[in-house]
């Protein structure tokens, strides 16, 4: 049997894990809102129209923060449309996704849903068609106690206490030509800086995320980050990164290596942030908000057919990727990469949460179920708390189209505040189990208390409403510790969680 080794030590600390790296995203896109979290006629709907079966799954997933309301949607969105009496809210054409937005669910409703789902709101302001004035107004509306125009209007609209939104995105993907209000790096940096100033003047306790480049392969990537940060570095707290992966050529080994690209991407953006900080002699370091990430390629052709049939419809079934087992393995590898960069990646949002490239799927009027990618996300959120440790790993390797010497075993480890140790490990080998030998002598007496394995013999296996348990975790029973060394068998093509206490 193939063998990999790992050395862990309490002193190999990368950094404290911010739970918000297990965040997600709800955009007014497709059936994420209407038919996803909100369906008043559904058998499980509460008095406010929210599907309880979906809320139960979101709670199970353990999502600490949800980005809202977009996405591309936000660059043409007037936040004022989403407040006040529902029957007086306007219907608007959403140019980003060629649908009609009814504004049935707005700011108050979403904040109410977030409370029910045990999560916090990460709100994106429109810096496409709007600017600093609208940005400061919504912060006043959401967070100011009272005694001003916008805060008193919030109270009039039924929320006596502030909504308390503490994390804000300054627009979305503003270097993308597809974006309404597309800007150059200098133009965006200037407006982001002015918006950031007045937003923090209204509420100094908030944190702000500046838009990084829309994609790693954009011609603006790199120069965009440097120039826009040169304008707004002092007034923002995070830079956003977005990255999606696909496997349209059915190259499983290459697909499962894509988190190596992700690690390169993170380190490049960190270097740019620090270069700008160095130029400015800044005492603070900017951290990263990886506020869009996922696998996304299954639904591309389907979306074109939907638009042909019903352009400008309400809640069209867009971006409804059905995820398979190999997608779950890459999702797990991505989460491992975030943990290995926990000193700088402080927020991350799996895009998205329900129906739209999502871990949770629903049928209108029917069931709700967990897709394959649900499970690594749930495990990481549940067990990946505390301090991230730097593992020293020696593993057999393979070569693929884009990368050489890809380790068959990738892993991360977290040290809980209670002294427990959790190891997350992916075996990329398509045929062979691998024995992982871990040196844990630095931790004293530890015993394995749980081993979770996600494995399926078919990498294309999916979960459906009819068969929601096709790809689900199982108990592993082979982790053993002797004299400070743990051995555990990682099945071929598997995601593993080993907790020791």
pLDDT value of residue 303: 85
Give tens-digit pLDDT for 417-467.
999 999 999 999 999 999 999 999 999 889 999 999 999 999 999 999 999
pLDDT value of residue 302: 83
Tell me which of 27, 80, 140, 173 is the catalytic residue: 173
Distance CA 409, CA 498 (A): 14
Angular region, 467: left φ>0, alpha ψ -120 to 50, beta rest? beta
pLDDT value of residue 478: 84
Average pLDDT over residues 270-274: 98
Per the prediction, the chain carries an average pLDDT of 97
Give tens-digit pLDDT for 44-76.
999 999 999 999 999 999 999 999 999 999 999
Question: What are the structural domains of the chain?
Answer: 2-9+389-500 (2.60.40.1180), 18-251+285-313+344-352 (3.20.20.80)
Contact 79, 131 (CB under 8 A): no
Distance CA 252, CA 254 (A): 5
Give tens-digit pLDDT for 204-228.
999 999 999 999 899 999 999 999 9
Look at 303 and 277; give whichever has higher pLDDT.
277
- Select from 31, 62, 106, 53 the least CA-distant residue to 379: 62
Average pLDDT over residues 81-101: 97
pLDDT band at 415 (very low <50, low <70, confident <90, very high): very high
3-state helix, strand, coil in the chain (%, to 5): 30, 25, 45
pLDDT value of residue 304: 86
The H or E element spanning position 242 is strand 238-245
Contact 278, 232 (CB under 8 A): no
Average pLDDT over residues 277-291: 96
Tell me which of 231, 292, 320, 326 is the catalytic residue: 292
| Known active-site residue 101 | no
Average pLDDT over residues 231-236: 98
Q: β-strands 65-68, 23-25: how paired?
A: parallel
| Known active-site residue 173 | yes
Residue 17 has pLDDT above 90, yes or no: yes
Q: In terms of pTM, does the model score above 0.95?
A: yes
pLDDT value of residue 38: 98
The H or E element spanning position 7 is strand 2-7
Integer CA distances (angstroms), 331 to 36, 203, 244, 293, 295, in order? 22, 36, 11, 9, 8
Distance CA 487, CA 378 (A): 24
């Amino acid at each position: 049997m193939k063998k990999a080794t790992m050395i862990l030590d309490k002193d190999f600390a990368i950094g404290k894990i911010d739970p918000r790296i297990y965040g997600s995203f709800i955009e007014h896109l497709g059936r994420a809102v209407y038919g996803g979290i909100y369906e008043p006629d559904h058998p499980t709907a509460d008095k406010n129209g929210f599907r309880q079966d979906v809320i139960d799954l979101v709670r199970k997933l353990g999502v600490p923060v949800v980005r809202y309301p977009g996405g591309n949607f936000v660059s043409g969105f007037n936040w004022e449309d989403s407040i006040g009496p529902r029957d007086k809210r306007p219907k608007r054409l959403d140019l980003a996704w060629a649908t009609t937005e009814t504004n049935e669910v707005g700011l108050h409703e979403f904040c109410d849903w977030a409370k029910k789902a045990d999560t916090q709101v990460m709100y994106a302001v429109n810096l496409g068609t709007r600017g600093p004035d609208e940005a400061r107004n919504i912060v006043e509306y959401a967070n100011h106690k009272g005694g001003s125009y916008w805060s008193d209007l919030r109270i009039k609209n039924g929320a006596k206490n502030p909504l308390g939104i503490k994390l804000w995105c300054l627009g979305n993907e503003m270097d993308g030509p597809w974006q309404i209000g597309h800007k150059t790096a200098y133009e965006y940096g200037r407006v982001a800086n002015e918006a950031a100033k007045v937003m923090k003047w209204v509420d100094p306790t908030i944190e702000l995320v500046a838009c990084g480049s829309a994609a790693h392969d954009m011609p603006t990537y790199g120069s965009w980050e440097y120039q826009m940060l040169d304008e707004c570095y002092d007034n923002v707290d995070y830079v956003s990164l977005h990255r999606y992966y696909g496997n349209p050529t059915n190259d499983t080994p290459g697909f499962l290596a894509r988190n190596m690209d992700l690690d390169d991407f993170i380190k490049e953006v960190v270097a740019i942030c620090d270069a700008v900080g160095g130029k400015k002699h800044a005492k603070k370091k900017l951290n990263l908000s990886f506020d869009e990430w996922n696998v996304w390629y299954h639904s591309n052709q389907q979306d074109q057919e939907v638009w042909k049939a019903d352009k400008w419809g309400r809640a069209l079934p867009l971006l409804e990727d059905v995820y398979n087992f190999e997608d779950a393995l890459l999702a797990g590898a991505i989460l491992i990469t975030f943990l290995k960069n926990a000193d700088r990646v402080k927020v991350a949002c799996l895009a998205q949460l329900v129906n739209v490239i999502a871990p949770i799927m629903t049928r209108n009027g029917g069931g709700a179920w967990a897709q394959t990618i649900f499970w690594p996300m749930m495990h990481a959120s549940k067990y990946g708390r505390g301090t991230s440790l730097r593992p020293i790993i020696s593993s057999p390797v393979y070569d693929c189209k884009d990368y050489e010497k890809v380790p068959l075993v990738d892993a991360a480890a977290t040290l809980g505040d209670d002294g427990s140790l959790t190891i997350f490990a992916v075996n990329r080998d398509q045929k062979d189990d691998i024995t992982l030998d871990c040196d844990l002598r630095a931790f004293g007496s530890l015993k394995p208390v749980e081993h979770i394995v996600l494995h399926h013999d078919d990498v294309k296996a999916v979960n459906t409403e009819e068969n929601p348990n096709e790809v689900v975790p199982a108990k592993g029973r082979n982790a053993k510790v002797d004299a400070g060394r743990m051995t555990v068998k990682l099945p071929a093509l598997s995601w593993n969680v080993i907790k020791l206490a």
